[in-house]
Chains A and B, each alone.
Chain A
Amino acid sequence: MLRDITLGQYYRTESVVHKLDPRVKLVATFMFIISLFVANNIIGYIIAALFLIMCIALSNVPPKFIFRGMKTIFFLLVITMIFNLFLTPGKELVSFWKFTITYEGVKMASMMAIRLIFLITGSSLMTLTTTPNNLTDGLERLLRPLKLFKVPVHEIAMMMSIALRFIPILMEETDKIMKAQMARGADFESGSLITRAKSLVPLLVPLFISAFRRANDLAMAMEARCYRGGEGRTKMKPLIYSNIDRIAYLVIIVYLALVIICGRILF
Chain B
Amino acid sequence: MIRTKNLVFEYIRRDDEGNVEGITRAVDGVNLSVEPGQFIAILGHNGSGKSTLAKHFNALLYPTEGEVFIDGLNTEEDKNIWEIRQKAGMVFQNPDNQIIGQVVEEDVGFGPENMGIPTEEIWERVEESLKTVGMLQFRKASPNHLSGGQKQRVSIAGVIAMHPKCIIFDEPTAMLDPNGRKEVIRAARALNEVENITIILITHYMEEVIYADKVFVMDKGHVEMSGTPREIFSQVDKLKELRLGVPQVTLLAHELRNAGLPLPEGILSREELINELKRLK
Q: Give residues in A with beta carbon < 8 Å to B.
A: 3-4, 131-133, 161-162, 164-165, 168-169, 213-214, 217-218, 220-228, 232-238
Decide if B119 touches A225 in the complex (CB within 8 Å): no
Which of these, B97, B106, B112, B144, contacts A221 with CB under 8 Å?
Answer: B97
Q: Smallest Cβ distance from B127 to chain A, in angstroms?
A: 11
Chain B's closest residue to A226 (CB) is B114
B-chain residues with CB within 8 Å of residue A233 when the two chains form the complex: 113-114, 116
Subset of 18 A-B contacts with CB under 8 Å: A133-B103, A162-B100, A165-B102, A169-B144, A217-B97, A217-B98, A221-B98, A222-B110, A224-B60, A224-B92, A226-B114, A226-B115, A232-B116, A234-B117, A234-B118, A236-B109, A236-B123, A237-B119
Decide if B109 touches A224 in the complex (CB within 8 Å): no
Which of these, B82, B97, B119, B143, contacts A236 with CB under 8 Å?
Answer: B119
Q: Which 4 A/B pairs are nearest by Cβ-Cβ distance?
A: A217-B97, A236-B109, A221-B98, A225-B111
Chain A's closest residue to B122 (CB) is A236
Q: Smallest Cβ distance from A48 to chain B, in angstroms?
A: 33
Decide if A226 touches B85 in the complex (CB within 8 Å): yes
Interface of chain B residues 116 through 162 with chain A (CB within 8 A): 116-119, 122-123, 126, 143-145, 158-159, 162
Judged by DSSP, the binding face of A is: helix
Interface residues on B, range: 35 or more
Chain A's closest residue to B90 (CB) is A224
Decide if B98 touches A226 in the complex (CB within 8 Å): no
Which of these, B94, B99, B113, B159, contacts A234 with CB under 8 Å?
Answer: B113
Decide if A225 touches B162 in the complex (CB within 8 Å): yes
Q: Smallest Cβ distance from A237 to chain B, in angstroms?
A: 7
Would A228 and B82 be within 8 Å (CB), given that A164-B102, A165-B102 are in contact? yes
Decide if A218 touches B85 in the complex (CB within 8 Å): no
Alpha-carbon separation in the docked complex, A217 to B89 (Å) = 15
Chain A's closest residue to B115 (CB) is A226
The answer to whether the Cβ of B65 comes within 8 Å of any Cβ in the partner chain is: no
Alpha-carbon separation in the docked complex, A169 to B142 (Å) = 12
Q: Smallest Cβ distance from B53 to chain A, in angstroms?
A: 15
B-chain residues with CB within 8 Å of residue A162 when the two chains form the complex: 100
Query: Given A217-B97, A225-B85, list of 11 further CB < 8 A pairs?
Result: A161-B102, A165-B143, A214-B97, A221-B92, A224-B60, A224-B90, A225-B89, A226-B85, A226-B86, A226-B111, A236-B105
